[in-house]
Amino acid sequence: MEPPTRSPGGATRCRRAEHVRQQLIYLIASSLKVLQLTTTEVALPKFCRRLQYFLSSEAAGASWRFCNMFDKPALIAKFIGLTVVLIWGEIKFALRAAWVRHRARWLGATAASDRTRNIVIVGASFAGYHVARIVAHSLPPKSPYRVVVVEPNSHFHFTWVLPRFCVVKGHENKAFIPYGGNVAGAPDGVIRWVRDRVESVSPASVRLQESDEEIPYDFLVIATGSKVKGGLPSRVNATDRNEGMKRMRAIQDGIEAAKTVVVVGGGAAGVEVATDAKDLYPDKRIILVHSRSTVMHRFGKILQDAAQKGLERLGVEVILENRVVNEDAEAGTVTLRCGLEIPCDYYLRNGICQINCTGQQPASDVVSGLSEAAISSTGHINVKDTLQIADDDLPNVYACGDVAESEAPNPNARVAMRQAAVVAENILQAARGGRPTHTYKTYWADGVIKLTLGLDRSVSYSGDGVSELMFNGKEKEVTLMAAMAWSRMGQKPYEDNYHEADPEDVEAGKTEGT
């Protein structure tokens, strides 16, 4: 058998392999216990068998095979290291927050009215809400700073479950997590929460859309994420929870009533919606149209193959290397670039006969008037390693999450939160008079993804450019990780006494997003 093609870095690693082999094997063996404790959905017995195979084939192995074997355990070891680092980060955060609370109790804290210096955070999703959490719990109690969060949404939108809850009925409320839990317990007066949208940003202040208020800032964090013109199933595009739930139900009803549904775009959102829809309604015709030669083309081959097989297993029809170029609601057809017309009766009444999962754009408009130089050709915000925006005249302006230009192959919530932690620490440092020294660099774990392939199956995938690792998972809960997300955000799943939206507000368009 021919050795597999290897990257240039592979040869060096092969030479180093012999020296670190023993230590790594020891690390893996002793870490199995940790893995058992820290993973829930990994097929551990299968993993153990693979590990056994790896260890036994070591004796026989030709050198290429040894090196190939070596990559996967290295990736596993990295996973374990990552878990340890994450746990340690949370412990450090909890200890620091407890110390701040303790000092505030004994020595008192600066009154809200005396907190005259603002750290303004624009957008409170994975990135912005995490910055707010860290900074609010870490500022010294006597600090003159306060955190001002500006966010138009009534609730945190848990994007991970949007594709699922646009298909499966009865769980829409679970995608909307009440705000507050992450900043609860911070000293009084540290947080000001403003439900509004930032319309424009100047070098010294932000202007709000609804109230027209101008808020001065000492530090500014742009965490405005991504936008999707078509809205669900990728983004809610409604600021009020109840309006959002209504929109999800409309899609569920549309799919339920349709005979044929066309899903456009074979990225993660498209694959998840298509497989869920076919799993729930096996008699419907579900067609996935994707522009590239494989679905999930941003990822490695084993995930592409797994997604393709998952679609085939359920009977989703996949059309590759084609694009939807037109839809005719009257005729009930969508037209592909190749000229093929597909009859499609999903959601006809609203003039749409397809589900669009065609991707998202960075929501950077808000800074366009502040610094043209900082906007990249893709519309992202260029940032330095410290996540200050790439404009030396604006050292106190940071950007993080989906809106920031990062080399991450798969921008996701973990990347957003990792960047948020860097921004938060830099602001804390600068607020103490220091220079921001924390930096963000993309690394292998940024590419990790868990992809559902039907109602009860998923794959968790990681690739580091050399080797790929994938675990099959069984999903016990149709609600996926919603309950965990509520708990992680300091809320009891799924308790929410949110009032009904004021019909006048809905009518006046106040509950609509972009």
Ligand X SMILES: NC(=O)c1ccc[n+]([C@@H]2O[C@H](COP(=O)([O-])OP(=O)(O)OC[C@H]3O[C@@H](n4cnc5c(N)ncnc54)[C@H](OP(=O)(O)O)[C@@H]3O)[C@@H](O)[C@H]2O)c1
Name the residues that contact ligand FAD, by CB under 6 A.
122-128, 150-153, 159-160, 162-163, 197-198, 223-226, 234, 269, 363, 366, 401-402, 411-414, 416, 450
Q: What, of ligand FAD, ligand X, none, does residue 366 touch, CB below 5 to 8 Å by kind? A: ligand FAD
Q: What, of ligand FAD, ligand X, none, does residue 323 touch, CB below 5 to 8 Å by kind? A: ligand X
Q: Which is nearer to ligand X, 6 or 414 (CB)?
A: 414
Q: How far is the CB of 269 from ligand X (least distance, A)?
A: 3
Tokens of 467: 């080797």
Tokens of 54: 């790896």
Q: Which is nearer to ligand FAD, 76 or 367 (CB)?
A: 367
Tokens of 172: 């829409």
Q: How far is the CB of 103 from ligand FAD (least distance, A)?
A: 30
CB 35 within 8 A of CB 50: no
Q: What, of ligand X, ligand FAD, none, does residue 438 touch, CB below 5 to 8 Å by kind? A: none
Q: How far is the CB of 186 from ligand X (least distance, A)?
A: 30
Q: How far is the CB of 150 from ligand FAD (least distance, A)?
A: 5
Q: How far is the CB of 42 from ligand FAD (least distance, A)?
A: 16
- Residue 258 identity: A
Element (H, E) at 301: helix 301-314
DSSP of 360-412: -EE--GGGTTT-GGGB-TTSPBPB-TTSBBS-TT-TTEEE-GGGB----SS--
DSSP letter (8 states) at residue 499: P
Q: Which is nearer to ligand X, 6 or 292 (CB)?
A: 292
Question: What is the contact surface with ligand X in residues (CB under 6 A)?
Answer: 234, 264-265, 267-270, 272, 289-292, 298, 323-324, 357-360, 410-412, 449-451
Q: How far is the CB of 9 from ligand FAD (least distance, A)?
A: 26
Q: What, of ligand FAD, ligand X, none, does residue 225 touch, CB below 5 to 8 Å by kind? A: ligand FAD
Q: How far is the CB of 163 from ligand FAD (least distance, A)?
A: 5
Sort strands 176-178 and 155-157 into parallel, antiparallel or unpaired: antiparallel
Report how far residue 144's alpha carbon sits from residue 189's, in angstroms, rounded to the nearest whole number.
Answer: 10
Q: What, of ligand X, ligand FAD, none, does residue 133 touch, CB below 5 to 8 Å by kind? A: none
Q: How far is the CB of 273 from ligand FAD (least distance, A)?
A: 9
Q: What, of ligand FAD, ligand X, none, does residue 414 touch, CB below 5 to 8 Å by kind? A: ligand FAD
Q: How far is the CB of 396 from ligand FAD (least distance, A)?
A: 18
Burial level of 433, CB count in 10 A (0-12/13-18/19+)? exposed
CB 396 within 8 A of CB 423: no
- Residue 10 identity: G
Q: Which is nearer to ligand X, 396 or 462 (CB)?
A: 462
Q: Which is nearer to ligand X, 252 or 396 (CB)?
A: 252
Q: What, of ligand FAD, ligand X, none, does residue 389 touch, CB below 5 to 8 Å by kind? A: none
Report how far residue 131's alpha carbon sits from residue 425's, in angstroms, rounded to the nearest whole number.
Answer: 9
Report how far residue 479's alpha carbon sits from residue 494's, in angstroms, rounded to the nearest whole number.
Answer: 11
Report how far residue 37's alpha carbon sits from residue 45's, in angstroms, rounded to the nearest whole number.
Answer: 14
Element (H, E) at 484: helix 482-488
Cα dihedral across residues 358, 363, 369, 374: positive or negative: negative
CB 156 within 8 A of CB 124: yes
Phi and psi torsions of 74, nearest 5°: -60, -40
Phi and psi torsions of 509, nearest 5°: 80, 10
Q: Which is nearer to ligand FAD, 150 or 394 (CB)?
A: 150
Cα dihedral across residues 413, 416, 422, 424: positive or negative: negative
- Residue 183 identity: V
Q: What, of ligand X, ligand FAD, none, does residue 294 touch, CB below 5 to 8 Å by kind? A: none
DSSP letter (8 states) at residue 196: S
Q: What, of ligand FAD, ligand X, none, does residue 21 touch, CB below 5 to 8 Å by kind? A: none
Q: Report the residue closest to ligand X, judged by CB.
A: 267
Strand-pairing partners, residue 334, are 327, 342
Q: What, of ligand X, ligand FAD, none, does residue 401 touch, CB below 5 to 8 Å by kind? A: ligand FAD
Report how far residue 33's alpha carbon sits from residue 39's, in angstroms, rounded to the nearest whole number.
Answer: 10
Q: What, of ligand FAD, ligand X, none, does residue 164 touch, CB below 5 to 8 Å by kind? A: none
Q: What, of ligand FAD, ligand X, none, does residue 267 touch, CB below 5 to 8 Å by kind? A: ligand X
Q: Which is nearer to ligand FAD, 71 or 464 (CB)?
A: 464
Q: Which is nearer to ligand X, 96 or 323 (CB)?
A: 323
Q: How far is the CB of 393 from ligand FAD (least distance, A)?
A: 22
Report how far residue 430's alpha carbon sits from residue 436's, in angstroms, rounded to the nearest whole number.
Answer: 6
Q: Which is nearer to ligand FAD, 195 or 246 (CB)?
A: 195
SS3 306: helix
Q: Which is nearer to ligand X, 178 or 411 (CB)?
A: 411
Q: Which is nearer to ligand X, 358 or 426 (CB)?
A: 358
Q: How far is the CB of 199 from ligand FAD (least distance, A)?
A: 7
CB 192 within 8 A of CB 148: yes
Q: Which is nearer to ligand X, 181 or 411 (CB)?
A: 411
Q: How far is the CB of 403 from ligand FAD (least distance, A)?
A: 6
